[in-house]
């Protein structure tokens, strides 16, 4: 079945609010000169995305090489494939290891890693560029209809 959908831009506050309604996102970075992507669970705190990563993992390695200068993308979405509605938010920002022990402990208490493994690092991503859209019913020429717009809550 096919519908006609229109993409509606979201504001930065809408984007970060929607991202905070889901647990999972996808971290995108360059690893050994190739594009890399990893699904992870996250915490959104103000304009910062916080994730945990295993010591020795590709992202930890790249963040340590980058030393406060690794640009990454982080994407989260909630897409209803049956109705072809949903949203996607993309953050581009600088990834950094959290080196302050107390801050790292606090984040570890707030983000539970799903996969059992060795001791891990905490990485923050500053939301420097934020873009997002939602798919709403209608063709390109249609007016937006707020009554049928899609929110993260309704999709999750």
- Degrees (nearest 5) of the Cα angle 141, 144, 149? 135
Q: Does 109 bind a copy of itself (CB under 8 A)?
A: no
Identify which of residues 104 and 125 has a Cβ nearer to a copy of itself in the complex. Answer: 125
Identify which of residues 45 and 80 has a Cβ nearer to a copy of itself in the complex. Answer: 80
Secondary structure (3-state) at 88: strand
Q: How many residues belong to the site for a copy of itself (CB under 8 A)?
A: 39
Q: Enter the tokens of residue 149.
A: 């717009």
- 125, 48 in Cβ contact below 8 A? yes
Neighbours of 6 (CB within 10 A): 17
Among 15, 42, 62, 88, the residue binding a copy of itself under the rule CB under 8 A is 88
Among 116, 119, 143, 146, the residue binding a copy of itself under the rule CB under 8 A is 116
Secondary structure (3-state) at 151: coil
Q: Does 140 bind a copy of itself (CB under 8 A)?
A: yes
Q: Does 50 bind a copy of itself (CB under 8 A)?
A: no
Among 12, 14, 17, 26, the residue binding a copy of itself under the rule CB under 8 A is 26
Q: Residue 52 gets which letter from DSSP?
A: E
């Amino acid at each position: 079945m096919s519908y006609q959908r229109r993409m509606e831009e979201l504001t930065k506050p809408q984007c970060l609010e929607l991202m905070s309604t889901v647990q999972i996102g996808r971290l995108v970075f360059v690893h050994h000169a190739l594009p890399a992507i990893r699904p992870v669970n996250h915490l959104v705190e103000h304009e910062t995305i916080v994730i945990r990563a295993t010591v020795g993992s590709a992202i930890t390695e790249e963040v340590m090489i980058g030393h406060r200068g690794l640009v990454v993308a982080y994407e989260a979405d909630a897409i209803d494939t049956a109705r072809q509605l949903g949203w996607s938010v993309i953050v581009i920002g600088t990834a950094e290891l959290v080196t302050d022990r107390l801050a790292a402990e606090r984040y570890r208490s707030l983000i539970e890693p799903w996969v059992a493994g060795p001791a891990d690092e905490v990485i923050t991503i500053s939301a420097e560029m934020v873009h997002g859209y939602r798919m709403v019913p209608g063709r390109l020429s249609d007016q937006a209809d707020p009554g049928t717009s899609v929110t993260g809550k309704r999709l999750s």
